[in-house]
Amino acid sequence: MPFYQTPPALGNQYVEDDVLRRYLRHTLPPDVLRRVEPELLELGELAGGDLFRQSVEQRSDEPKLVPWDAWGNRVDHIELSPLWKRAARLTAEKGIVATAYERKSGALSRVHQFALLYVIDRAWHVYSCPLAMTDGAAKTLLVSKNQALVERAVPRLTSRDPEAAWTSGQWMTERTGGSDVGISETVARADGDAFRLYGTKWFSSATTSQMALTLARPEGNPPGGGGLALFYLEVRNPDGSMNGIQVNRLKEKLGTRMVPTAELTLDGARAFPVLGTKDGVKNITPMLTITRTWNAVCAVGGMRHALALAKDYARKRVAFGAALADKPLHVDTLAALEAEYEGAFLMTFRAVELLGKEEAGELTEQEAALLRLLTPIVKLVTGKQAVAIASEALEAFGGAGYIEDTGLPRLLRDAQVLPIWEGTTNVLSLDLLRAVAKTGSLEPIAREVGGAVSGCEPSLVPVAEQVIRAVDHAQAWLGRTLEAGGPAGVEAGARRLAMTLGRALQAALLVREATRSREENDHAKPAAAARRYARNGIDQIVDDPLDADARILVG
């Protein structure tokens, strides 16, 4: 007897997204929501329909490097998939980057922009990668106040005209490694009003961009991140030839296989300092803040997409005499995942709100400290949740989840990059410690969490108490460990600290969402998400993360 299964299907990905719609209802003034909603409906239709189908059908159309033309000329051309070419036009026209800079929605422009991204992202094979870097480059140039570069590049990076729009690369990683950027080897030699760069960039994502921001050490500068400078370069000369850059090969990656990630040799690439000739690591951090936020938004978009497919399939797939959606164990499994996703969503968009306020000049000092602390937490917690949810979602399809032409394995492969690029979980945990050192304490997070759960609906009081206990524990552990003067102890516990704070904030924001939905028809779901999330566990702090057992186990 043949083995037939009904594939999962998606409807309009805005209409079907109760979490996004509820959040926007609570966050955007009615007139702004009315203006933004047609854009979301249009992208939601593509994300559940035509573009989604194309992304499954074109799953093998990977980019190809053509180093030489037929006549032996070095061209370094990268042929992109039809879906990526469509995505390039679509994103310019729909303003996926531009929306943040046009500021039509004032301080809520980042919420507007990232809602668009979140709805569309899973349907275009990680075209979010060049867009994240483009957004990050525009922001970094604006922060630098380098007027010549701002005038040259920002209008192109934020253009809605597909013929004029540029994307940007962010070339940081070298053969010496991706985390410890300060040991980069690329050298910058002065050449008139510019510099010439010599070195190798080991991972350069989306190498088809027109420009890049990159780091190099001006000759004579000291070692370390402070001795690097931030440079702007254009990838091709006006005649179309490469600007002293060779594409050595495209990377063979586990996932994000449509993203043309390359190894590059810079052999005299003409480049311009963005902001002086030192402090390159510090000067590129505005870009990191933006790309890390993109990472989180795409992580929650991916979680929702995977769960939408798994939930649809659960209603259709009959096994052992009933639909999976009626099987208690399957329901328990999916409920835990849905709660995780909803918490991740709310935390991510809280960071997005703060970013928008910062750019509109409306951030208080307290909120600025909160944003600095939240950015690494949001990136690292959602990266891990995205992988766990993608893995479980594949499993929810049984063997079909492991078969390429269902389009499902890509969900897991593409999710796996989220905790790696833009700073691994551990590097970001250490960044949280750096942020605590700057902001002075965890108080901004404690206050945010306390505010979110105060006055909560009675059924959620136990969740609120669990959240407050977790934050108190985290604060007490940090204070005690710092006082004991053991930096190794703080470092070893940094991931647990970040996870606990992130999970506490996610649960707290779920409580707030449930409380502010109290008078609404669909209030049952956010409250259920808050309770289920808390049951998944919040506090991960242990007193002595680097105990003797850890040493014995690792050797």
Interface residue list for ligand MFK (CB under 6 A): 128-129, 132-133, 170, 172-173, 178-179, 181-182, 205, 225, 281-282, 285, 288-289, 291, 294-295, 298, 421-423, 427, 431, 434
Q: How far is the CB of 375 from ligand MFK (least distance, A)?
A: 7
Q: How far is the CB of 20 from ligand MFK (least distance, A)?
A: 18
Closest CA to 508 of 447, 440, 551: 447
Of all residues in the shown chain, the one whose CB is closest to ligand MFK is 225
- Cβ proximity to ligand MFK, 298 vs 324, nearer residue: 298
In angstroms, the CA 323 to CA 72 distance is 60
Q: How far is the CB of 262 from ligand MFK (least distance, A)?
A: 12
Q: How far is the CB of 225 from ligand MFK (least distance, A)?
A: 3
Q: How far is the CB of 298 from ligand MFK (least distance, A)?
A: 4
- Cβ proximity to ligand MFK, 47 vs 456, nearer residue: 47
Q: In sequence order, which residues have a C-beta less than 8 Å from that of residue 30 and are 6 or more positions away?
A: none
In angstroms, the CA 136 to CA 282 distance is 14
Q: How far is the CB of 332 from ligand MFK (least distance, A)?
A: 30
In angstroms, the CA 153 to CA 168 distance is 9
- Cβ proximity to ligand MFK, 213 vs 508, nearer residue: 213
In angstroms, the CA 510 to CA 253 distance is 36
- Cβ proximity to ligand MFK, 108 vs 288, nearer residue: 288
Whole-angstrom CA distances from 321 to 25, 325, 454, 554 are: 40, 12, 46, 47
In sequence order, the β-bridge partners of residue 74 are 68
Q: How far is the CB of 228 from ligand MFK (least distance, A)?
A: 8
- Cβ proximity to ligand MFK, 182 vs 268, nearer residue: 182
Closest CA to 503 of 353, 387, 344: 344
Angle (CA) 395-401-405 rounded to 5° is: 175
Specify the DSSP class assigned to residue 422.
Answer: T
AA letter at 543: D
Contact 470, 453 (CB under 8 A): no
Whole-angstrom CA distances from 108 to 33, 146, 337 are: 11, 26, 28
In sequence order, the β-bridge partners of residue 77 are 66
- Cβ proximity to ligand MFK, 300 vs 470, nearer residue: 300
Q: In sequence order, which residues have a C-beta less than 8 Å from that of residue 101 and are 6 or more positions away?
A: 138, 154, 158
Closest CA to 513 of 15, 18, 16, 14: 18
The size of the chain, in residues, is 555
- Cβ proximity to ligand MFK, 256 vs 481, nearer residue: 256
Q: How far is the CB of 414 from ligand MFK (least distance, A)?
A: 9
Long-range contacts, 161-164 (Cβ 8 Å, 24+): 161/92, 162/88, 162/89, 162/92, 162/93
- Cβ proximity to ligand MFK, 142 vs 334, nearer residue: 142
Q: How far is the CB of 66 from ligand MFK (least distance, A)?
A: 23
Q: How far is the CB of 122 from ligand MFK (least distance, A)?
A: 11
The conformational region for residue 191 under phi > 0 = left, psi -120 to 50 = alpha, else beta, is: beta
- Cβ proximity to ligand MFK, 105 vs 170, nearer residue: 170
- Cβ proximity to ligand MFK, 62 vs 279, nearer residue: 279
